[in-house]
Amino acid sequence: MPGGRRGLTRQQLSRSALPSLQTLVGGSCSNGTGLRSRNGTSIGLTAPVTALITPEPVRHCRIPDLPVDGTLVFELLFFIYLLVALFVQYINIYKTVWWYPYSHPAASTSLNFHLIDYHLASFIAVMLARRLVWALISEASQTGKTSIIRYTALITSRLILLTMCGWVLCWTLVNLFRNHSVLNLLFLGYPFGVYVPLCCFHHDSRTPLLPADCGYLTQEQLCDDMGALVKSKDFLSLLRESLKEQFNYSISIPSHSCPLSPDLIRSEVECLKADFNKRIKEVLFNSLFSAYYVAFLPLCFVKSTQYYDMRWSCEHLIMVWINAFVMLTTQLLPSKYCDLLHKSAAHLGRWQKLEHGSYSNTPQHLWSENTIWPQGVLVRHNRCLYKAVGTYNVAVPSDVSHARFYFLFHKPLRLLNLLILIEGSVVLYQLYSLLRSEKWNHTLSLALILFCNYYVLFKLLRDRIVLARAYSFPLNAYGLKSH
């Protein structure tokens, strides 16, 4: 209307809205970072704009110190479980029908003991005890300064233990070479033959060297490990390090100090990714190694005239592998370590890739590696449009490993829920099989294995209840729990 108040034109509205969106990002635009208008042209700002709105700081929950089995205790329990599983497999293979009446007895004992190869059983027991023996030696070596008498007794006991294990191993191998063919003997060292080429010489050459000021991972010195991966090593060094890791893996947990620099956050993520992959590799190999020697190797040395239930033996093999996997994962990925991964994922953030043409009226920014992007902002990277999902977003939009890391660990209970689902499914299936079992060896084997699974499931459920309670408490503005 004439004489009335005129409103702003569309061009003025679009121009006036652009600087306010720049304040969401923070930093300056002099390094090529600009805003995109509706027609797709980039509008650069000649002077830096001070951040008036910064991303909301990440507030971490403090979880209680949950009890974790020590290395020696866990290796002892794990060794006992594997011996029980080995005994169950021998029952499944060499069982008899000893309950028949005396008029036509099939056997006088419950097992065909004369068919069992005791040299093979001793060899398997030594191979399964390798981690326990190494844990005993490591724990004894970590004691402080002692007297000369105690030190001499320690060295003597170590020599006696290693000598006894080596003598039993050589004695069993010599007898196995005498009584079995070469084809059967190849199964004895098959896991090590697969482990050396796959794990000793495989490293990710794309992993960059970490900066010198990466001081937030000090307990395990992950940064030194990452730098050592890039250096060239000879065959003996790689073999020695890999065998040492395979015998006993350290479960010390790195520290976290909430780095504010995007470069430090990404470097910490690279460190944790390498350490997590290393732990998962050890879990997979040791679980497969245990299942192979416990449930598969005895089947390879069964005589052709011996009958056994193939389906039940293979089912036992799968159960042993799953239980060993869950037990090792629980030990190598404790609650504090998962909380550390969750904190790092919260600082990393994630980007959601959008379709071309969407959000055409919303201002878009050019992604910068030195900027902490807030939630909901739109950026362009490698000719693609991305939307910030996390509270902090410093991840590379096109890096799939960053998106995978955030997906796995941005929810702190995701890994624990997965382990509970796996172990709970195994327990339910074994209870169902126990109710339907009609043979005495099935009932005995399920009952023995279930006792071990109950202990693992109890620890998982205990941690799940405590951690869910800890993470459910809200945080106030100071990052402290509100009562």
Could you read off the pLDDT of 190-224 as tens digits, one per residue? 877 766 665 554 444 334 433 333 444 433 444 44
122 exposure class (CB count in 10 Å sphere: 0-12, 13-18, 19+)? middle
Top pLDDT among 259 and 73 is at: 73
| Residues contacting residue 386 through CB under 8 Å, at least 6 positions apart | 351, 352, 353, 354, 367, 378, 379, 380, 397
Q: Does residue 157 fall inside a structural domain? A: no
pLDDT score of 259 more than 80:
no
**Bridge partners (DSSP) listed for residue 365:** 35, 379
In a domain, 461, yes or no: yes
- Choice among 138-142, 204-208, 268-272 with the minimum mean pLDDT: 204-208
- pLDDT score, position 239: 53
In a domain, 371, yes or no: no
324 found inside a domain: yes
Is the pLDDT at 176 greater than 60? The verdict is yes
Reported as a single tens digit per residue, the pLDDT across 363-402 is 778 888 888 888 888 888 888 888 888 888 888 888 888 8
What are the distances in angstroms from CA 434 to CA 317, 439, 444? 17, 10, 9
**pLDDT score of 307:** 82
Give the pLDDT of residue 24.
41
What are the CA-CA distances from residue 314 to residues 285, 304, 311, 382 (Å)? 19, 17, 5, 50
Residue length of the chain: 483
pLDDT at residue 105, as a whole number: 52
Residue 55: inside a domain, yes or no?
Answer: no
Average pLDDT, the chain: 75
Task: Please indicate, yes or no, if residue 363 is contained in any of the structural domains.
Answer: no
Q: Is residue 111 part of a domain?
A: yes
- What SS3 state is found at 44? coil
Number of independent structural domains in the chain: 1
| Domain that includes residue 246, residue range | 71-116+180-345+406-472
> Within a domain: residue 9?
no
Percent residues over pLDDT 90 in the chain: 25
Residue 447: which residues within 8 A CB-CB, separation 6 or more? 434
